[in-house]
Amino acid sequence: MPLIQVSIAAGRDEDQLRSLVTELTDATVRAIGSRRDAVMVIVTQVEGTHWATGGTTLADKKATREATDGGDGDPGDGRPLVL
C-alpha cells in the first residue's frame, strides 16, 4: 500500500490540491502497478514562516521579491510566481 507524503508551501486552493493528489496517484499506478484505491497521499501545507531554504524563510523571500518587483507579487518576466 503506497503512502506518498508531500510538503508544500501553504496557499494552494482546493482544486490545485485535488489535482496534485490525482496526478500523484496516477503516476504511482503507472510506475508500480499499484491498485488506485491502495494509493494513499498526504499533503501537508507549510506556512512560509515555518519553511526555510538557505537560512531564509519562504515568507522573507516572498517579501524581498515583492519589494523588488513592484509589490504585486508578479516577477514581471512572464513566469508564474512560485514559492
Residues annotated as catalytic are 2
Q: What are phi and psi of 31, to 5 degrees?
A: -75, -40
Encode burial over 60-81: b for 16+ CB neighbours within 10 A, e otherwise.
ebbeeeeeeeeeeeeeeeeeee
Q: Which of 26, 48, 45, 46 is nearest to 37 (CA)?
A: 26
